[in-house]
Structure 1
Amino acid sequence: MKRHTGKAIEKVAMAISGMVPTVTGWANTRDVKPGDHLLSESGIPVPVLSVDTYESESPCYELTFRDGTRLVGSKDHFWPVREYNGKYCDTVATSERLAQVGVTFKRALTTGRTKAVKGDVSRWRTRATPALVLPEAHIPMPPYLLGYWLGDGDSDGPRITISDDDLPHLERQCEASGARIVSRQRTHGKTFRVRFDLGERASSLNALRELGVLHRKHIPAEVFRSSDVQRRQTLQGIVDSDGYIETGTNRVEICFTSDVLARDTTELIRTLGLYPRVSVGDATLNGRTLGKRYRIVFTAYDTDHVSRLPRKAERLKPRGKAVPYSRVRTITAIAEVEPTIVTRIRVSNSGSTYLAGEGLVPVCDYS
């Protein structure tokens, strides 16, 4: 193999190609520098010790994960995974070994109390993705109110459409954060359009303008790298305004007609250690197709605190002792690809683990 500079290096090293989350946003692996901070397997920022970018002379492997994340690794890149051989056990395997063994374990069918009625089992799972651990960021309005506005607000100003059943809850949340509802207008039936103000904090209109969301609803970049509390509060606002929690299943669903909001909300959910799945269909009204509908579904438990609205939050039940299937990503495909430019990154933590790809998949360097 060769360094990208053209100089030869002595040994084969693990390396990947793709995007990695940093403490300030996203970066291509080729652009990472010593001194940058990536996110570790526990979600804590860790400094980069060294970076080695080179062109692999051997074929690489592209791994596809259940959530659609794709990462390319050199044949000697190490992946911290759980392997199924009758039960799941922690191990570390190279890209080449993953490909040689394959993604499916052929399980014998059995009967009785521990019967196995499905023969093919996913062989490889990632370790659980963590919630990112980051410091509080400056967000010029309460994150919960921002999330609620993103879900059911008018894009051109500080107004929210809400049912009169939920209005008292929103008023309490505003009051607790120093904001307030300053006007309300009944639109039809049991629905109000209310205008909110941030009190002494700032003008609500200026806050939306500072966040860059007026006439262009999206989750601002500073929210993605804010504290766990701020990110969770933003998601709570989105779920309480525009989400649905199914009784008895811990299943949370959010629907958007905006691909930008759907993509941003999916990323926000991932930063909290949760696993969203996205599907796209037609948005219809009275039999007419109006555009695309983006449906986000994920599993949450009461301790995940993804909702504040009592009638929704009370539907979430406790999780069991084992790491749930909803917290990991199975490897669904491994394909050999042409040699490409890859990057070996060493970070300062035990096992040199860090997160990579849009799905925040734990990867490592044990060489």
Structure 2
Amino acid sequence: VADGEHRWPVWDFTNDRPAARTLTTAEMAGRVVIGAKGKRRRYAIDCCDPVDMPDQDLILHPYVLGLWLGDGSSIMNHISVHEEDAEVVEHLRACGVEAEFRLPKWRKGRIANVVIDPTFRMRRENGASFSDCFRSRLTERLRQLDVLDNKHIPLGYMRASRWQRLELVRGLMDSDGTISPDGKRCEFSNADRGLIDAMVELLRSLGYKPAVYKGKARRKVFGCEGRVHESAEYWRISWTAYAEEPMFRLSRKRARMRSIENGRPWRSRRRRIVDIRPVSSVP
């Protein structure tokens, strides 16, 4: 809710070239839509600048957490990746964790397996003998963050510095993200609505303009016996980003990103005002 006299720095698209103006809410009311068919939005405002906060003391590198949240096993230290993405091991090691790239016999299609911080033996509390169990350092950290079998983005990561939030996004995008062949749109897909909402908040805090679309569950029939499989509903986030601030670490995805010089930042970095509605004044 904004007062009628609130002054807005806007872009006026009455002519071919938008003009920068400062108008009140009352001055824009009733003139939001223009054009013969009434489909053009006259005014736009710039997207917010990225929110910058101090670095947080995080127990797990945000890129590692993002990669695991996207395509990692919810209860262990395994992550599914494309067989062409063996380079992810180097990115993980650069983030301070050990990783192994595997092509197990049980894999399906072109899926490979990455194990982060392979298990190591733990001594008993009295130090007398080795324990029979094995633990992964990554699993221990995930348990401390309360995300093991409870995938979500912890608040400390949501309120981290700009570069830490960007690394978190890159981890999520390297796992569950993609980019269109022409490099115009980045997309992130997931069936967890909570993770989708958190990703939208992250992107907005970085100055982007994400749009969310809901995908329908799909029904597939397999084999001669006609086994039926129904996939879960999912959501897709779409937004525009440029190579100057890449959304990926993986080279095959990063290579598709185009420079801002070849894009249209005046559209991707602005929000159109679609309506202004009067409401009762509240003290």
Query: TM-score, normalised on structure 2?
Result: 0.82
Measure the CA separation in 1 of the matches of 2:9 and 2:62.
Answer: 34
Match 2:145 to one of 211, 216, 230:
211
Partner of 1:194: 114
Partner of 2:13: 84
Partner of 1:75: 4
Q: For residues 44-72 of structure 1, give each alpha carbon's deviation from its aligned partner in whole angstroms, at most 9, with x where no partner exists.
A: xxxxxxxxxxxxxxxxxxxxxxxxxxxx1
Q: Which amino acid aligns with 1:337?
A: V
Measure the CA separation in 2 of the matches of 1:106 and 1:162.
Answer: 48
Q: For residues 266-315 of structure 1, give each alpha carbon's deviation from its aligned partner in whole angstroms, at most 9, with x where no partner exists.
A: 11111111111101121324165443210111111111211111110000
Match 1:335 to one of 254, 277, 282:
277
Cα–Cα, structure 1 residues 184 and 248, in superposed 2: closer, same or farther, change >3 Å?
Answer: closer
How do residues 317-356 of structure 1 correspond to structure 2 at under 5 angstroms? 317-320=258-261, 323-341=265-283
Q: For residues 320-351 of structure 1, give each alpha carbon's deviation from its aligned partner in whole angstroms, at most 9, with x where no partner exists.
A: 3864301111011111122235xxxxxxxxxx
The reply to whether residue 237 of structure 1 matches residue 171 of structure 2 is yes
Cα–Cα, structure 1 residues 296 and 308, in superposed 2: closer, same or farther, change >3 Å?
Answer: same
Q: Which moved more, 1:230-239 or 1:173-182?
A: 173-182
Cα–Cα, structure 1 residues 84 and 241, in superposed 2: closer, same or farther, change >3 Å?
Answer: same
Measure the CA separation in 2 of the matches of 1:88 and 1:243.
Answer: 33
Partner of 1:283: 217
Percent identity, aligned pairs only?
30
* 8 Å CA contact 1:141, 1:198 repeated in 2: no
Q: Which amino acid aligns with 2:22?
A: V
How do residues 158-173 of structure 1 correspond to structure 2 at under 5 angstroms? 158-166=77-85, 168-173=86-91
The reply to whether residue 146 of structure 1 matches residue 76 of structure 2 is no
Q: Which moved more, 1:281-290 or 1:230-239?
A: 281-290
Measure the CA separation in 1 of the matches of 2:113 and 2:219.
Answer: 22
Q: Which amino acid aligns with 2:54?
A: P
Measure the CA separation in 2 of the matches of 1:253 and 1:323.
Answer: 17
Partner of 2:49: 130
* 8 Å CA contact 1:183, 1:196 repeated in 2: no
The SS at the match of 2:57 is: coil
Measure the CA separation in 2 of the matches of 1:332 and 1:280.
Answer: 21
How do residues 1-367 of structure 1 correspond to structure 2 at under 5 angstroms? 72-86=1-15, 87-100=17-30, 102-106=31-35, 120-166=39-85, 168-181=86-99, 184=102, 186=104, 187-189=106-108, 190-197=110-117, 203-286=137-220, 289-320=230-261, 323-341=265-283
Query: TM-score, normalised on structure 1?
Result: 0.64
Cα–Cα, structure 1 residues 163 and 85, in superposed 2: closer, same or farther, change >3 Å?
Answer: closer
The SS at the match of 1:144 is: helix
Cα–Cα, structure 1 residues 235 and 301, in superposed 2: closer, same or farther, change >3 Å?
Answer: same
Measure the CA separation in 2 of the matches of 1:183 and 1:246.
Answer: 27
Measure the CA separation in 1 of the matches of 2:244 and 2:54.
Answer: 21
Measure the CA separation in 2 of the matches of 1:206 and 1:327.
Answer: 40
Q: Give the Å deviation of 1:222.
A: 1.6
Partner of 1:362: none
Measure the CA separation in 1 of the matches of 2:113 and 2:264.
Answer: 44
Q: For residues 159-197 of structure 1, give each alpha carbon's deviation from its aligned partner in whole angstroms, at most 9, with x where no partner exists.
A: 21123321x212101211220125857232442333212
Q: Point out which structure has higher relative CO (alpha carbons under 8 A, 6+ apart).
A: 1
Cα–Cα, structure 1 residues 273 and 184, in superposed 2: closer, same or farther, change >3 Å?
Answer: same
Cα–Cα, structure 1 residues 285 and 278, in superposed 2: closer, same or farther, change >3 Å?
Answer: same
The SS at the match of 2:276 is: strand
Q: Which amino acid aligns with 1:269?
A: L
Measure the CA separation in 1 of the matches of 2:237 and 2:115.
Answer: 28
Q: For residues 235-260 of structure 1, give each alpha carbon's deviation from its aligned partner in whole angstroms, at most 9, with x where no partner exists.
A: 11111111111122421111111101
* 8 Å CA contact 2:89, 2:101 repeated in 1: no
